[in-house]
Amino acid sequence: MNGLTPFLRAMGAVVWKDLRAEWRSREVISAMLVFALLVILIFNFALDLQPNVRAGISAGVLWVTLAFAGTLGLNRSMAVEKDRGCLDGLLLAPVDRAAIYLGKAFANFLFMLLVAVIVLPLYGILYNTNMLMPGLLVVVLLGSEGYVAVGTLLASMAVQARTRDILLPILLFPVAVPVVVSAVKATGGFLAGWSWEEIQPWFTLLVVYDVIFTSVAFMVFDSVVEE
């Protein structure tokens, strides 16, 4: 640990705390996973996923599933901090608050990736499509990053409001639209075997929003948690 700066150490401590708490309870991950599975199964009935129809909408189904499951995790991740007074403890710690934000966001990112790692092959098996393309995996990585970056910030606002349980999706979904749309388009492009020239604009848009959301959330998190 001695080679690390204090900032990274604080961030690592927050991530480690979240991972250990999750490892002991397994509440969030199991809820996210079961929920994701349910969403996929419901989509099967709702959209009647025939092989010819499926090809065009797999990307959409996948991202709606990830986004919904992600909201569940984000809400929970901030709610436990608020309920048990952990947030106050974290804020009292003499570390940069941006480190706390990055730690929480990174833990959420790992949870979302874990869900994606299980959902992707499962979706592939259930619907007989190959989901494990390198390009697609990068898109999942980037899409989850952008979604979680803005989601962690908004979740920390939502838990402090009176209507917190219903507020997060309402705050997050319209704002996350650029990330979700570009991720869906890029994923669909990889699944349909588009050329890189066609996928590239969406890919770029995704990267741009990752950068925007992460850096803005990083800058304003301080004013969200100050008392």
Partner 1 sequence: MLQKPRLLTVLDVVAIVSFIIATALVFFYAPLERVMGAVQKVFYFHVAAGWVGMLSFLLAAIVGVLYLIRKDLKWDFVGVAAVEIGIAFTLINVVTGAIWARPIWNTWWTWDPRLTTATIMELVYFAYLMLRSGIEEPERRARFGAVYAIIGFLSVPLTFFSIRLFRTIHPVVIGSNDPGAMGAFDMTPRMTQVFLFSLVAFSIVYFDLLWHRIRLGKLAERVESLRLKLQA
Binding site for partner 1 (CB under 8 A): 150, 153-154, 157-158, 160-164, 167, 170-171, 174-178, 181, 201-202, 205, 209, 212-213, 216-217, 220, 223-224, 226
Q: Which is nearer to partner 1, 51 or 174 (CB)?
A: 174
Q: Which is nearer to partner 1, 125 or 177 (CB)?
A: 177
Residue 9 token pair: 């150490």
State how far the alpha carbon of 121 is from the alpha carbons of 37, 75, 77, 131, 138, in Å: 12, 26, 26, 6, 15
Answer for the pair 36, 115: CB distance below 8 angstroms, yes or no: yes
- The distance of closest approach from Cβ of residue 110 to partner 1 in the complex, given in angstroms and rounded to an integer, is 23
Residues 6+ apart with CB under 8 A from 204: none
- The distance of closest approach from Cβ of residue 115 to partner 1 in the complex, given in angstroms and rounded to an integer, is 23
**Spatial CA neighbour of 101 closest among 31, 149, 159:** 149
Q: Which is nearer to partner 1, 70 or 119 (CB)?
A: 70
- The distance of closest approach from Cβ of residue 170 to partner 1 in the complex, given in angstroms and rounded to an integer, is 5
Q: Which is nearer to partner 1, 10 or 172 (CB)?
A: 172
**Spatial CA neighbour of 151 closest among 131, 178, 175:** 175
